[in-house]
Amino acid sequence: MSELPFYLAAFVVVLGVLIVVHEYGHYAAARWVGVKVLRFSVGFGRVIWQRRLGRDQTEWAISVFPLGGYVKMLDEREGEVAAAEQHRAYNRKSVGARSLIVAAGPLANFALAILLYWVVFISGSEELLPVLGTPPADTPTAMAGVKNGEQVRRVDGEVVATWNDLRWLVLQKAVNQEHTALEVINEQGEIAVRYLHLAAAGDQGWEGDALERLGLRFYRANFPAVIGKLVEGGPAARSGLQVGDWVRSVDGEEIANWQAFVLKVREAPGRRLHVLVERYGELFAVDVESEPISERGRMIGKIGVAVAESAESKRELKTHVSYGPLEAAAKAVAETWDKSVFSLLMLGKMLTGEVSWKNLSGPVTIADYAGQSAKLGLDYYLKFMALVSISLGVLNLLPIPVLDGGHLMYHMIEVVRRRPLSERAMEVSQQIGVSILFVLMAFAFFNDLNRLFSS
């Protein structure tokens, strides 16, 4: 609960930036083609703050419901317009000009994503190397023969530099249910190829961390369960556990290594654990209450301990990744394009039933991820903001009446028919569009609540 204000603040910043950028795209395009803008609002409903600025005295406002925004333009269909200003009305502009105004919002979101990725790529970041851990039995990764400590060099011939690169490439292959070849190298320098058979990947479902269920895990050294560090004031420190304690069992279950200990704690959020430790050759029993923490939409337990370092734990698992300005720009554009195409692909698979609607996320899940990414660091937060910006751009381009894509659809029909749709047809289609959005929002909120209560 103490993290709630931080998570909310991280969510509000993401939401605020994306709304302002999206609506400013509409605003800038409208001004560019000569349309008068009456109001620029962040949020819907009753205006709680406003100020008039500029030659046109445009009203800049913040409204009571913050999940969106709008740009209100001069339009003869919404009221009488003085003869001297009719040439600046939205409805008087050509189909091309109106389409530019409509498309500028989503395009601004894509442009923001490119900018954010560029900043991250040019600034550089610490990334995990693509080193694989021991996969659970009967998963595609285990059946491929992957062994703990193998580092992936290529996926289907494409060079892999980081753990995130590996996850992204395998995720794309898994969604398309393609067979995938991983070229790996072990610590002895021996190279091998591991073949992942992902034809049945969709049967695993895509809720939570789907790649984890496919057996794709990061490397974990086989340390003994010896406590090396304690978080000051954390559950372990408060319970009396000490640095150097060797965990022998938890709730009567023998602990073979550090990873087994971590797994036991993670699976017990908010529970009291009976921990038996060896200290200076003697056994001591300690009760520790794990702290529930939200991670990727589910609750896990933590007690505030870290493993004691060993020669194996000092294996270099990180690399610093950065790019020059031009290379970063090209990579940012490619990243935005790939994520946009993938978002459309996932939406298509939801419509065909190949991917569950449980993957649709609402504001609660987005707020959770915003907080988690902000805690990891600025580069993670900016990449998360870029991803949500892409999702917003893609969503708004869908041909659903009331969305930007719906208005573009009207304009295409107008070009084909050489006249606009009747007001009645637009009214009916917009009612349908509102119904579709309501259903989507209901699904998203239901999924949020389901994740919240199930965890």
The answer to whether residues 291 and 303 touch, using CB atoms and an 8 Å cutoff, is: yes
User: Phi and psi (nearest 5°) for 217?
Assistant: -125, 150
- CA–CA dist 340, 172 (Å, integer): 12
Residue type, position 324, single letter:
G
| Pick from 134, 144, 217: nearest CA to 181 | 144
Question: Which residues contact residue 409 at a Cβ distance below 8 angstroms, ignoring those fewer than 6 apart?
Answer: 399, 401
- Residue 23 designated active-site: yes
Burial (0-12, 13-18, 19+ Cβ within 10 Å), 427 = exposed
How wide is the angle at C-alpha 401 spanned by C-alphas 397 and 405, nearest 5°? 15
Residue type, position 102, single letter:
V
- CA–CA dist 355, 344 (Å, integer): 12
User: Phi and psi (nearest 5°) for 159?
Assistant: -65, 135
The pairing of beta strand 246-250 with beta strand 253-254: antiparallel
| Pick from 35, 23, 110: nearest CA to 390 | 110
Q: What is the 8-class DSSP label of residue 84?
A: G
329's tokens: 């720009």
Question: Which of 23, 150, 183, 335 is labelled catalytic?
Answer: 23
396's tokens: 């708004």
Which residues participate in catalysis according to the annotation?
Answer: 23
